[in-house]
Amino acid sequence: MGSALSTPDTAEHLVGSFVGDESIPLSSDFWQKLLELPFDAELPSQRLHQTCQLLVENNHNTRHLAKILFHLACYLQESMSTSGVPQLVYEKAVNAVYFTSVFLKHLIESAPDGDVELYLSLHDSESIPKNILRDQTIENLVMRNVLNFIASIDVSPNTYFLHLELLNFMIIAMSTQLLRGPSPGPNDVNPFLDAAMAQDSHLVTSVVCKLLLNYITRPRVPFSRASYSIFYDGSQNSVLKKVGSEAANIVLLPFSYLISSSSEGSRNPIADSSLQVLLVIIHYEKCLVSEGYSVLKNQVSTSLDSLSKENTYFSENPYCRVLVRATDCELDRVDKEGNAHSDQDQHVKLPFAPLFDTLGMCLADETAVLLLYSLLQGNSTFLEYVLVRTDLDTLLMPILEALYDARRRTANQIYILLIILLILSQDSSFNAGIHKLILPTVPWYKERLLLQSSLGSLMVIILIRTIQYNLSKLRDVYLHTTCLATLANLAPHVHRLSAYASQRLVSLFGMLSRKYNKLADLRDGKLNNAGSNSIERSSLVEDMSAELQIYTDFLRLVLEIINAILTYALPRNPEVVYEIMHKQEVFQPFKNHPCFNELVENIYTVLDFFNSRMDAQRMNGDWSVNEVLQVIIVNCRSWRADGMKMFTQLHFTYEQESHQEEFFIPYVWQLVLSRRGFEFNAGAIHLFSADLPTKKLDNTPK
């Protein structure tokens, strides 16, 4: 039996030859034996690492990675060649994809100092079938066939696991981005991503469409043991059995979905992987050196990465272009292969209605939130579609619930959710429509029973709650500004704001005013203690004044929000008037403040009007809430805004910063790695720090 292990056809011998130092010709039948061999033995994790490391050491000479990729492309070509492909063809392709993924990942994460060199070109002496490779590179051939299969072959019981492993392969092949910093440079090496970008427009369009259709239709895992004996029966040809338990830390196995017992069981592997691939590929940025810029002429002696941003630019991402130009269609107008019936401009047609509903169901997941953001921010047609929907609660309720549960969300997720609300609030019809949609109850809101509240009132409550959470926990100026900008957009269109929402709005001003007064007193106290030391006094003034100015801006913005409601929507909002009257003392300290007096003056114009009407009633004893509110409602009918000072109506819009890729590329990869069943070598990651939270998106409402 011992001699049997050393025969040429055993698993150990074939794998050893693959990672060894002797180059095996591309035309050898070794490759077929390797990829079709039934692996029955477990390979311990340490042994697997040693085996992969041997390939790292020898691949530059043997070019075995390029050769196995070539055979993978051939297997995929065979699986697409004719109709009625035998099941064995798909089994061989699954083995090839999986086996290649294991070793490709190790080669990528073993790259020294992030300088990945996969040696994807074959030696000149190699006999290469010209009818297959033609003038393509290996990476281009592989990506073309991988993308072709994903786009053109239906997800069926026969092809399900091959689709899943190809999506996993794409994530691994694109993970070269993890090796470089967050700002893409002209020296970055991403061969498979670059190959994907070089595909023809028809294939790009088909891929985007198919990935989104996978996400929408959410194909189910086939559980037929008869059809999928390779995943259950060791007698069949499958490399999966060889790598054993260690594979769970290398590639996301179909097994991880089949055996999960908790919330993971509700995930859909094809849908999840399709979305992750889409997010990575649409946010890729290829950095190029500007035409006419000479490295020698400008005496740049170091690498191209030292070039300033002024001397580089990003090439257009064709996948992003397809996504942002997508238009609506009915689901039955997209054929089974995922090919859109596009016009001459190659506009992909997507079923917006099912996409809208799917996003509404999945917004608890951060990747779905990022997809929604990408569509709303980039695709004006989809944004218009969302804005005319009468069931906006489908999207808004999960967004507001996620913000309500902010303690369980990342800072980046909170910010993306808030930007989505800001984008939607730029439309006046949206602002008006959300106040007409009445919610019978809000079961997830625990602090108070909310009955028959409008969606608009709930949105105001949650935005203010987010501001309060940010003040106590995150203390992020951008989050504050985004929340207040959205409230400012809503303010002129507020209709019958609930009592609780009105209370929270006025209480927000009170809370910010206390913080402002505390900072002002603290600054004055420290200045007095500094005495005559001019340097110390100057430093204190600079430090304290910056934070004080931030709260000055916040307070003024809240006053402008209240002013907008009183100026443009007072007759429709008696509860706001009631709350201002009830808490009128919070405005008194700012009545003569030079930064706020004009805005506070308008509030006192309203107070004087309604206080005088209350005094005219001359009731004995205390007033009940209902009695005060009834007087306000009656006198709202005679209210005229003639005495109010008119201010320019605030309108905030969201714009991405010019270098938004420095946020989105690391963010996408953090989402991908946190949701997949494998770990990437943390020491090899330079795209983001594993020990630090993701960088905030450096955008402010404009």
* Residue 38 pLDDT level (bands cut at 50, 70, 90): low
One-letter identity of residue 131: N
Q: Give helix then strand counts, H and E, for the chain.
A: 28, 6
Q: Which residue has the tokens 């709260």?
A: 551
Predicted confidence (pLDDT) at residue 701 exceeds the cutoff of 80: no
The pLDDT assigned to 239 comes to: 40
- What is the token pair recorded at 180? 């470089």
| CA–CA separation, 528 and 522 (whole Å) | 10
| CA–CA separation, 5 and 561 (whole Å) | 78
* 1 contact partners, CB below 8 Å, separation of at least 6: none
Closest CA to 239 of 52, 373, 102: 102
pLDDT digits (tens, 9 = 90+) for 262-310: 333 347 899 999 999 999 999 999 888 876 655 444 544 444 445 556 6
Report H helices in 283-379. Answer: 318-324, 352-362, 366-378
| CA–CA separation, 75 and 93 (whole Å) | 6
Mean pLDDT of 11-27: 90
Predicted confidence (pLDDT) at residue 693 exceeds the cutoff of 70: no
List C-alpha distances in Å: 450 to 370, 443, 445, 458, 503: 29, 8, 8, 9, 14
Taking the mean position of all CA atoms in its chain, how far away is CA 12? 42
pLDDT digits (tens, 9 = 90+) for 174-200: 999 999 888 888 888 899 999 999 999
Instruction: Of 259-263, 412-416, 546-550, give the lowest mean pLDDT range.
Output: 259-263
Chain mean pLDDT for the chain: 82
pLDDT digits (tens, 9 = 90+) for 200-242: 999 999 999 999 999 999 998 776 533 333 333 333 344 444 3
| CA–CA separation, 607 and 187 (whole Å) | 65
Four-point Cα dihedral 354, 206, 76, 45, nearest 10: -60
The pTM of the full predicted model, rounded to 2 decimals, is 0.87
